[in-house]
Amino acid sequence: MVIKRIPIKQLAHDEVEDMEDEVAVEYPLTLYLNGDEWVTLLCSPAALEHLCYGFLKSEGLIKSRNDISQLTLDSEKGHCWITVKDLNPLVLQLHGKRTQTSGCAKGITFYHALDNATLVANHSTSTVSFDHLVALMARFNGASPVFKATGGVHSCAVCSANDMLLIQEDIGRHNALDKLIGEALMTGLDLGHKILLTSGRVSSEILLKAARSGIAIVVSRSAPTDMAVREAEKLGMTLVGFLRGRKCNVYSGFERITG
Amino acid sequence: MVIKRIPIKQLAHDEVEDMEDEVAVEYPLTLYLNGDEWVTLLCSPAALEHLCYGFLKSEGLIKSRNDISQLTLDSEKGHCWITVKDLNPLVLQLHGKRTQTSGCAKGITFYHALDNATLVANHSTSTVSFDHLVALMARFNGASPVFKATGGVHSCAVCSANDMLLIQEDIGRHNALDKLIGEALMTGLDLGHKILLTSGRVSSEILLKAARSGIAIVVSRSAPTDMAVREAEKLGMTLVGFLRGRKCNVYSGFERITG
């Protein structure tokens, strides 16, 4: 249940009306990693296995689905017990450092330590036409039922050059992307050369999550930060912002957008 | 410098134009607490001392400005060295647990452990008229220069029943609120009975940060989560969402809104 109906009072032009409103449910999911309590995610209670797989992939703790030998989800208690094979203690230690964070922000030390070793420039020669991007975004905007009901979630989608393949929603824009990445991992969909659409702002963290999955083109309805633009340039990725109607800003990698 | 001008290509109705765009700067600030590296915040590089004070207050590590005996900010390196008097190792340990987080999400264990002990219901009898809220929000919407330039930040303001007292912007909605809380702490402004305006969604974390500062009325342009609504009810706070034009939803504490 990702939406809850609650009684509210609506004020409009000095009239008060008792009515019901639909709000997004916020759900705490605690992950236990190889026996130890590890992290609690506040998320929308849907696609929780996808979230677990995607979060572990984004955090650099697994590379493939087979790196997890067991995953037991108790959705009633909000607990997920995960056993990762050959858990790298260094990665876990760096993770501990990295996740000393504040809300939407996240430590950068670990990024640089790990990403410099693992992230390489994206040499994808895939392209997408502007008309196709406009059509994809229009479809994406209409394909978010929880947002339509509540206005309280972000959505992300993975697209090929001519189709929308996966879409996920969550109260957190990081969670929405991790759910996508997890779903791709679980269903064997290769994200290389794919297009990511997101409703939310693109910070360096979102950009780097996409980069680690091999995504070549990141397209947002909203704004990027300067650091996301710099990372996109460095990694040879295409970054498009403010795609609204038939207008957008291309911040990096213009060669992948065809007329 | 919270805004950076960068060269972009703007696509509009099949025309391509080389132009400059203003984007929000994303800046890593690493806090060192009593000699140890503690946390890196990704933030807008303004009001950094306010952010440090507010973050420490929100995390429960300080209660008053005097609990910090030294704060040295090196804004070039992005380092801030803070010495807190009588640092409670239990709080720090719980903090470590709590901040095992994902992006916009944050662990809930610590909240319950600490908040149950410290948070009490808000018995403020202060009220605000609907007309005044509408006027405050209109002023708030026009008072965010970085948002106007970049579209890439959130803003928060503290208001009395008839004036806007403080306003802060940041790439993270948690940081924007922490900057406000820090500014109030540094300038001796009591947040009890005040109104918080925010551009962003109200999750349980935002609601609880406001609660810990004694704020009685939280008003957002956007949506709350169900957990935020439940916390507001439990704590006797007023929670208003979707205040746009002359319309809003009151989720909790309607008695503080006068006609």
ipTM: 0.89
Task: Say what the pLDDT of residue B87 is.
Answer: 85
Going by their DSSP bridges, the two strands A247-252 and A257-258 should be labelled as unpaired
Are A99 and B100 inside 8 Å of each other by CB? yes
Nearest CA distance, B137 vs chain A (angstrom): 15
B170-198 exposure pattern, b = at least 16 Cβ within 10 A, e = fewer: bbbbbbbbbbbbbbbbbeebebebbbbbb
Amino acid at A54: G
Nearest CA distance, B253 vs chain A (angstrom): 10
Residues in B closer than 8 angstroms to A96, CB to CB, are 100
Residues in A closer than 8 angstroms to B259, CB to CB, are 14, 16
Segment A129-155 mean pLDDT: 94
Q: What's the 3-state SS for B173-214? A: HHHHHHHHHHHHHHHCCCCCCCEEEECCCECHHHHHHHHHCC
Segment B194-209 mean pLDDT: 94
B192 φ, ψ (degrees, to nearest 5): -60, 140
Q: What are A161-219's pLDDT values in tens digits? A: 889 999 999 999 999 999 999 999 999 999 998 999 999 999 998 999 999 899 999 99
A148 φ, ψ (degrees, to nearest 5): -60, -40
Are A38 and B226 inside 8 Å of each other by CB? no
Beta carbons within 8 Å of B127's beta carbon, 6+ residues apart = B161, B255, B256, B257, B258
Q: What is the dihedral of CA B54, B55, B57, B62, to 10 degrees?
A: -120
The model's confidence at residue B101, banded by pLDDT at 50, 70 and 90, is very low
CB contact A101 to B (< 8 Å): yes
Nearest CA distance, B131 vs chain A (angstrom): 8
Partner residue facing A108 (CB), from B40, B55, B224: B40
Measured between CA atoms, the residue of chain B closest to residue A21 is B249
CB contact B1 to A (< 8 Å): no
B57 neighbors B67 (Cβ within 8 angstroms):
no
Q: What are B102-127's pLDDT values in tens digits? A: 333 333 334 444 555 578 899 889 99
Report, as residue numbers or ranges, the catalytic residues of A: 104
State the Cα–Cα distance between residues B110 and B116, nearest whole angstrom.
10
Measured between CA atoms, the residue of chain B closest to residue A40 is B107
Is the pLDDT score of A115 beyond 80? no
Q: Enter the DSSP assignment of A192.
A: T
Query: Residue holding tokens 């677990």?
Result: A52
Q: Strand B195-198's sheet: what is its strand order?
A: A15-24, A3-12, B247-252, B238-244, B217-220, B195-198, B154-159, B164-170
Question: Which of B80, B104, B159, B248 does the annotation list as catalytic?
Answer: B104
Task: Say what the pLDDT of residue A100 is.
Answer: 36
Measured between CA atoms, the residue of chain B closest to residue A15 is B259
Are A226 and B250 inside 8 Å of each other by CB? no
> What pTM was estimated for this model as a whole?
0.91
Give the rounded distance of the alpha carbon of A37 from its chain centre.
Answer: 23
Are B13 and A246 inside 8 Å of each other by CB? yes
Q: In this complex, how many residue pairs, one in chain A and one in chain B, have their CB atoms less than 8 Å apart? A: 233
Task: Say what the pLDDT of residue A39 is.
Answer: 85
Task: Say what the pLDDT of residue A117 is.
Answer: 58
Segment A1-16 mean pLDDT: 94
